[in-house]
Amino acid sequence: MVRGKFKSKPTGRRLFSTPEEMVAGTSARPRSFRKEVEEDVRKEEESDQEYDDDSEEETEKRKGTEGLIEVHNPNLVKPKNVKAKDVNFEQTNELSRREREEIEKQKAHERYMKLQEQGKTEQAKKDLERLAMIRQQRAEAAKKREEEKAAKEQKKADSRK
């Protein structure tokens, strides 16, 4: 008996059968599956004939495994190629709701900042009042210091005499 962390037998291996094996019937799948595969192959051949007509119009070079695996992803957005002669310059692209809201938000902010600079908003008025009060207090403090300085100099001058 083996003790330890790892198993002695490789138990996790899977064997997958190829489509050719399934069609030929040599795979380990049940026989009913083979009938379904044959029906699918016939349907694919019919759809390929219809698709060949469309594929002449759209020839795309696929990357990686895209050519091997047919994926039907509803969320996948294919790039729309528009020919130069089919371009309509009068048609404007409609913006999404988020984009419209973002643009409106930016415009509103710009308007507010313009009014803020002119001092027409409530916040600007409060700021200007606060600024005027601070300037007045600083002017009073400077005046008081000048008076104290003058009084100190006067006192020094009197003590020297």
Q: Tens of pLDDT along the chain (161 residues)?
A: 556 676 666 666 667 778 888 777 765 555 565 667 777 777 777 766 655 544 444 556 777 777 777 777 777 777 778 787 877 777 767 888 999 999 999 999 999 999 988 988 898 899 999 999 999 999 999 999 999 999 999 999 998 87
The pTM is what?
0.34
Backbone angles phi, psi at 100, to 5 degrees: -60, -45
Q: Whose CA is closest to 58, among 87, 86, 78, 88? A: 78
**Positive/negative CA dihedral, 118, 119, 124, 129:** positive
For the chain, the domains span 18-55, 97-160
